[in-house]
Every structure is written in structure tokens, then in C-alpha cells.
Structure 1
Amino acid sequence: MKKFTLFFSIAMLLLFLAACGNSDNENSTDNASSDKSSSEESKTISVKHELGTTDNVPVNPKKVVVFDFGTLDTLDKLGIEVTGLPQDNIPSYLEKYESDKYENVGSLKEPDFDKLAEIDPDLIIISGRQSQLYDQFTELAPTIYLGVDTTRYMDSFKENLDVIGKIFNKEDEIKTVLSTIEESIANLKEKAEASGKNSLIILANDDKISAYGPNSRFGIIHDVFGVTPVDPNIEASTHGNNVSFEYVLENDPDLLYVIDRGAVVGGESSAKQLVENKLMENTKAYKNDNIVYLNPDYWYLSGGGLESVQEMIDEIDASLK
């Protein structure tokens, strides 16, 4: 009987010690998990961009304000939520961001700094239209510039994606989508070269037109996609070169690409009525039904996004019939 009692006591002691060990392990695991979560939330990186270097950019920021629709396009494609954005002139395919769910932070050129202060964002992303206000943004939150440099479109595009991938831990997803884009571009360049066609890009704005060539705002058509410019001497410019319809007729491109500014800024499309006039009826582009109206949402408002760049590729590809 004494032996049985001794054996039972030892067994109970071992069970007690084991239970204490498990409890310590669980507490240790919980603490480690908590420490890891806390570490991830507090992790920051430095981001070098066109306007300088921004330190203390949080990884996976909770409250993000975006002033660049190309970046908004990319974040939307990646399933990353934003807190605020300018709600005027949002591209139609991103119209969900017009909802009251998102804070309206003014316009692209006139940010609402009071609203920004109220939001107290973790990160602000800007581009060209807000660049002169950079210092004011930095007083409120870490601010980075992610506009696309059109003189080196794809390199700049990839650099911006690399920054977004590191901030939001989306490197793998970006790599997958970018691979598809690069394959599409390679195929388009072959098609453009084989077509032997030249082209001219114009922006229709009310009753005026501006021409764009290589290294310009829309020069990706020539520089990256490989479509030959009918006039390689157009001065590179963000706003384009003011030209006449006589200029278009004189150069007589095989393809005429038209971007209608009025359709996205004024809400009314007038480009077709402006462009397809009596003089233009004498051009090859008109006679061969090769006046191509590009979607201004992608080309004018949100260029440089993961979705918009693919759509731009697809539009030019379709024009080379």
C-alpha cells in the first residue's frame, strides 16, 4: 500500500511539473507573437524619391492618403485600402472611391490641409501636381513622391512599384503582374515594328490641339511600345506643342492617337467633333479609319498604375490592326 501511495504521489508531481512547463511555453509563445506583431507595426523604412529621402515611412501603414491616381490604381489592384484622396475627377473605373467611406482631401492642386490634419495619416503619397507643396505635407506625415518620370517611363514605373511593394509587403504580387505587363510590351513592340505604321499623338482641349512626341507625357507610345513617330522632332513637353490641323495634314500620320482632356476635366467629350473636320478628311488616318480615341481615364488621369499601364498597352495593341 505504501509503494502504491509513493508511486501515485510521484506521478501527480510529474503531471504538475509538466502542466507548469506547458503554461510557461504558452506564455512564452504568446509573448513572442505579441513582440513580433508589435515589431511589425513599429517597423519603418527610408524611401528615396524625386523630392528627397523620407525616413520613418511605416511598413503597412493604417491610414494612407493618396494624391496620385496612378498610385491609387496600383493600390486598388493590390487590394490595399486607402483612407483619403481627392474626390474630384476620379477615373471612372475607380469610381468606388467617390464613396463617403473615403475622406475627401481637397483637389489635386488644392489639398485640404485642415482635413489632412484631422485625419492624421500615417503616410501621404503625392506626384507632380502637389510637388511644390511637399514641405507642407511633410509637416503632417511622412510624405513620398511617386509620380512617373515620362522620359524614362518603365524604369520610373518599376521604381515606384518597388517602393510600394516594400511599404505594403506586396513584392510577390507586383512581380507577377509586372511580368505580364513586360510580356505584353514585348509582343506589342514586335507588332508595332511589323506594322510599319507611323503615328501622331494629340491632346484635344476645347477648341485646341497639342502634339506630343518621344519623351513626352504620352511618349510611352513611341519610347516603350515602339510605334514610330511621324515627327520625331516634337519638343518634349508635359503640356505638348500647340499645333494646327494643317500641321497634322502636312505630316499625315498613318495613325492619329487622340486623348480627350475635356471628357475627364469638363465632363463632356468634344474631341470627335473637333478632330474629324473637313481638313482632316484628307488624311490617311481618317480615310483608313485609324483615328484612335484613347481612354483619357488611363492616359490623362491615372497613368503609371498597374492596371492603367496594361490597359494602355491593350489600346495601342488593338489599334495596330
Structure 2
Amino acid sequence: MKKSHFIYICLVLLVLIGALFVFARRSQETKTTQTSTASSHFTSKTITHDFGTTKLDKEPKKIVILNNLYGEILLPLGITPVGATTAQVGSQEFSTLFKKTFKKAEVVSVGWQKTPDLEKIAELEPDVILMTVHQQDLYDKLNQIAPTIGYQINTESNWDFRDTALKVADIFDKKDQMQKAIDELDQKQAKFAQKVKATYGNQRLMYVRVTEKDIRYYGYGRFGFLYETYGFNRAESFNPSDMYQLIDSEKLLQLNPDLLIVQADSEDLLKTKLKESSVWGQLKAVQNKKVIYADYSTYMLGFGLMSQDAIMSQIEKEWLD
């Protein structure tokens, strides 16, 4: 090989090596910039909540939630917890709203919300824990595991989830995103209420829960949204400070609602306490096929963005289509 050719090849190789070096350096700088931008998006903050103050120095990515409502706040924001409580005693099953998402993401069950498993929570090494009044006595122990933030969610009255949703979203610098989701829900509920009034006018609704001990007609408190928000008419008014009143099958026939939503704690209870009773076939709602069977975890444990959407969707499909 001539000396000039050898020198030429060497020069070409040097140029290629230099180009590769510059490309690699710029790629690394880009990655560094992206990482810096992602981490700088979260601002260190001190959260004042219903159980104290909690400082967060870094963006919380591993989150454990101890109430269903937090799932309804986080999932619409694109955040999936690493651990969550179940809402029914003795059950490891997540709410119907979360079952598919949580299973796919391998979210760990950390026990019933009133008695969460602290060891399981610690094993997950969370960046933050979201709690409610149900875990108030455990606040100090939870805080030793990870920074803990909590709100006094009162599910016994007609509480408004919107305020809590905005506070929680603000923890993750996503308050604007949550406000947009709330605005969209408000618009959807307003249109839904118009459709209910146009379709059913003065017809009356009852939400009935069948438990092992009794039959309950819910008209206020947590189920106020059926009337105040959705625009249905109560089958009967009673003391607004009482969430429900106890009834029997005869009282149900006396009220004889046009529309009936039934949530039974088991299929057997639904059968023995209602469907096999002498009055069931006499009810207008039954005769006109205006009975909706409600999922416990969605209706009884919900009331956030996701449950409201699911409830409206079911009612629309069965009664308004």
C-alpha cells in the first residue's frame, strides 16, 4: 500500500471517530438535560394537611393509598400506586373500578383500609402514603415508614370530593390537570341531569341496600348526589341528617317507586329478602323493568371522578338509552 493511501485512510478513520465521540457526547448531554428537566418539574414543598405538615423533597413516585378515593384521584392523573387497601373487611379484592388497572400494574394489596398491614406497606418502600381518618391512630407509625399525608374524608355526609381531589393533585403538581377533569365531570353531570328530568320528570327513585340485618332506603348523605346532582326525585323525604331510614318490604310497596336501584350484600340476601317476597312483583319499578342492580364497591365506596362516571354510564345505558 502506498504511503499516501495509508495516511488518507488514517485521516478518514480519525474523522469518523471524532464524529462518533461528538454524537455520543451530545446524546449524553440530551439525556442529562431531559433527566434534569423531569426532576426539576417537581418543586420541593411542605404540605399542610388534616393531620399535620409533611415535607416532600423529591417527587413521590412510589405511592401507597389507604382509601378508594385516592385511587379515583390518582388514576385520572396518570398515576398508579404501588400499594392500596381494599375497602371490604376480610377481602383482598380491589374495587371494581381499579381491579383491571391494579392487576396489570401488579399493585400490592396492603389489607383492609381500617386495619392496613404496616409490614407490607414498609416492604414497598413508598415515597409517600395517603391516609384518611380511618388510619388516624396509625399516623405516627405510618410517618415512620414514609412521609404521610391525610385528609378527613367524611363519607357519612354529602361531602364533596372535589376539594380533596385538588389538594391531592397539588402534591404532584397536577392541580390544573385535576381542575380540568372536574370541570369536564361537572359539564357531564349537568347534561345528565337535564336528560334525567326530560325522561322521567316527576317519577320517583329509591336507592335500597339489603344487608343481613335490615333493608335501608338511602335518600341523603353520601347518596344525595342522586337527587341534588342527577335530578331524580326522592320517593319519600325524611330527616336530612339521617343518611338512610330502615324499611321493610311492606314499606317499600307503600312507597312504590317508579325507579329502583338495589344494592344487596349478597345474591342470597337479594333473593330471600326482596325477590321472594310477596310484594316484589307488585312494585311499579319491577313491572316496568326499571330496576338497576348496583355494585357495592362503586356505589357504596365511590363518589370520586371514576365512580361518578361509572354510575352515570350504568344509569344511562339501562334507563336513558
Superposed pair shares fold, TM > 0.5: yes
Instruction: Tell me the residue number matched to 1:123.
Output: 128
Give the 3-state SS of the residue equivalent to 2:207 in structure 1. strand
Could you tell me which residue of structure 2 aligns to residue 198 of structure 1?
Answer: 204
Residues 90-113 of structure 1: CA distance to partner in whole angstroms, max 9, x if unpaired? Answer: 123422424683333222221111
My pick for the range that moved more, 38-47 or 280-289, is 38-47
Q: Secondary structure at the match of 2:210?
A: strand
Deviation at 1:66, TM superposition (A): 0.6
Give the TM-score taking structure 1 as reference length. 0.74
Alignment partner, residue 264 of structure 2: 260
Structure 2 equivalent of residue 279 of structure 1: 279
Q: What SS does structure 1 have at the residue aligned with 2:191?
A: helix
Equivalent position to 1:242, from 246, 252, 258: 246
% identical aligned pairs? 23
Partner of 1:85: 84
**Aligned counterparts of 1:149 and 1:84: Cα–Cα separation in 2:** 22
1 CA distance for matches of 2:75 and 2:184? 18
| Paired amino acid for 1:290 | K
1:234 & 1:250 partners in 2: Cα distance? 19
Secondary structure of 2:193's partner?
Answer: helix
Q: How many residues align?
A: 284
Equivalent residues in 2 for 1:59-74, closer than 5 Å: 60-74=59-73
* C-alpha distance in structure 2 between counterparts of 1:135 and 1:246, whole Å: 50
- 1:1-321 to structure 2, matched below 5 A, reads 43-48=44-49, 51-57=50-56, 60-86=59-85, 88-96=92-100, 97-98=102-103, 101-140=106-145, 141-145=147-151, 147=153, 149=155, 151-153=157-159, 156-194=160-198, 195-206=201-212, 208-214=214-220, 216-234=221-239, 236-237=241-242, 240-262=244-266, 270-271=269-270, 274-276=273-275, 277-301=277-301, 303-318=302-317, 320-321=319-320
Looking at structure 2, the residues matched to 184 and 269 of structure 1 have their Cα atoms a distance apart, in angstroms, of: 36
Q: Does the residue aligned with 1:106 lie in a helix, a strand or coil?
A: strand
Worse-superposed segment, 60-69 or 84-93? 84-93
Q: Compare 124-133 and 104-113 and name the one that shifted more.
A: 124-133
Secondary structure at the aligned position of 2:292 is classed as: strand
3-state SS of paired residue (2:223): coil
- TM-score normalized by the length of structure 2: 0.74
- State the alpha-carbon separation in 2 of the partners of residues 280 and 99 from structure 1: 41
Say if 1:35 and 1:292 are closer, same or farther in 2 by CA, change over 3 A: closer
Cα contact 2:215–2:247 (8 A) shared by 1: yes
Cα separation, 1, equivalents of 2:297 and 2:268: 12
Distance in 2, Cα, partners of 1:149 & 1:39: 37
Paired with 2:186 and 2:98, the residues of 1 have a C-alpha distance of: 24
